[in-house]
Structure 1
Amino acid sequence: MSEVPPRRAGRPSKAVLDRGRIGSAALELVDETGDFTLPALARRLGVQAASLYHHVEGRAGVIELLREQVAATMDLRPLDYPVWDQALLGFFRSYRDVFAAHPRVVPLLTTATVRSAKVIEAYDRMAARLAEAGIPPARAMRILTALDNFVIGSALDLAAPDVMWEVPSGVEAPALSAALAAQPAGRNRADDAFEEGLTRLLASLATEFGVTR
């Protein structure tokens, strides 16, 4: 009886499918097209769509992987700043920078429940900083939601066309036209609007609850 040759050790011919690969491929797809489907994601990974279900629970599961991919680049160091309002200011600036790299993913993230451990950690630390300032939990959640909504809207603004407002010929809008003419162009317009809104929101809270510098 002839011997069965031993199986040769080595790497599999195809890369092993895991949540990290799925999330990375999904983010590439969304960056390119603005959305994803499970069949398109499977084709990009070179697998059958059914294989994805061994790792994620359908579309919602892939969206959570997208959140994890984006959250992996978040900088939490600003949350250690000594003064609570500056901690939130620094974090939300860095958070928007993360979205700026992937603005097309933002609308998808708003459709699924947040479960990413790093995002939960960040918001828990911000809630703790607000508690240190004497802000009660119910008010703190409203504040965090308002700031989150503002940052998400600002991230969407980054994907807007360079000319966002255009007064049609024959339409009289002198005050708006003057304001439009005075604003910077391109990314600077979005950056200035973000800084104006975020600093004023936090300055209002600092005035109400006080800060110790």
Structure 2
Amino acid sequence: MARPRTPLLDRERIAATALQLVAEHGEFSVPQIARALGVQTGSVYHHVDGRAGVVELIRELVCDRITDEALTLGPWDRALEEWARSYRAAFAAYPRAIPLLMTTPVRAPRVLAHYERAVALLLAAGFPEPQVMPLLTALENLVLGSALDLAAPEAMWEPSPDTPLLSRALATVGPGRADTAFDLALAAFLSYARILRGGDYAP
């Protein structure tokens, strides 16, 4: 019997199926992936290193949407801003993957390469080495929190007669609350990063 021209199973199909399961249910299992692909569970394990391997495939698939060229822009703060915006957009497309990916160690080579370039950018900009990872972690927290906020309802509060100030504040926001909040937080982050770097901060 001739082999099918298109392989029944490969890492790309496994990653796409797992990500779809996460997008729909917030979780996945290897048996679920196998059923969706019409193969035996053992066949999936021939292509990935267990559940952790699938998580890394999902991570690569989501992070492939990040514009890596942003980190090559200049100056450093513009590069970091563009990277953050691209990072947010990538994860906003799959908000239910965020808890899964942010609670497991990063091992995927292509994703580690993103962080390597970000570290190199900050070091080249003159940031002391002990500040680099706290800065990147803070930026990542900002980005991923905002990506989740984009998936939330536009009106996250249901004010009552007992909260007139909240009611009035909400009435002034208008559409795009999550985007406005992200712009504010990112601007504040970059301003403080300039203070840490020293010498080019203008209040």
Cα deviation for residue 131 of structure 1 reads: 0.9
The aligned length equals 200
For 2:128 and 2:185, locate their aligned partners in 1 and report how far apart those are by CA, in whole Å.
23
Distance 2:49 2:108 in 1: 15
Match of 1:114 in 2: 106
Is 1:192 the counterpart of 2:180? The answer is yes
Q: 2: distance between equivalents of 1:10 and 1:203?
A: 59
Residue 198 of structure 1 and its aligned partner are, at CA, apart by 0.8
CA distance in 1, matches of 2:17, 2:27: 12
* TM-score for the superposition, normalised by structure 1: 0.86
Pairwise mapping of residues 1-213 of structure 1 onto structure 2 (< 5 A)? 9-11=2-4, 15-168=7-160, 170=161, 172-185=162-175, 188-209=176-197, 210-211=199-200
What is the rounded CA distance, in whole Å, between the counterparts of 1:182 and 1:102 in structure 2? 29
Percent of pairs with identical residues: 48
Query: By how many angstroms is 1:184 displaced?
Result: 2.3
Counterpart CA distance in 2 for 1:44 and 1:66 is 16
Q: Deviations over 1:59-90 (max 9, x none)?
A: 22211111011112221111111200110000
Moved more, 78-87 or 110-119: 110-119
Contact between 2:127 and 2:196, CA under 8 Å: does it hold in 1? no
Partner Cα distance (1:116, 1:211) in 2 = 35
Letter in 1 for 2:165: A
Letter in 2 for 1:200: A
Q: What TM-score, normalized by structure 2, do the two folds share?
A: 0.90
2:48 aligned counterpart, secondary structure:
coil
Q: Could you say which residue in structure 2 is the equivalent of 1:4?
A: none
For structure 1, the residue ranges without an aligned partner over 5 or more in a row are: 1-7
Give, in whole Å, the separation in 2 of the partners of 1:59 and 1:10.
28
Runs ≥4 residues deviating over 6 A? none
Structure 1, 122-131 or 138-147: larger mean CA deviation: 122-131
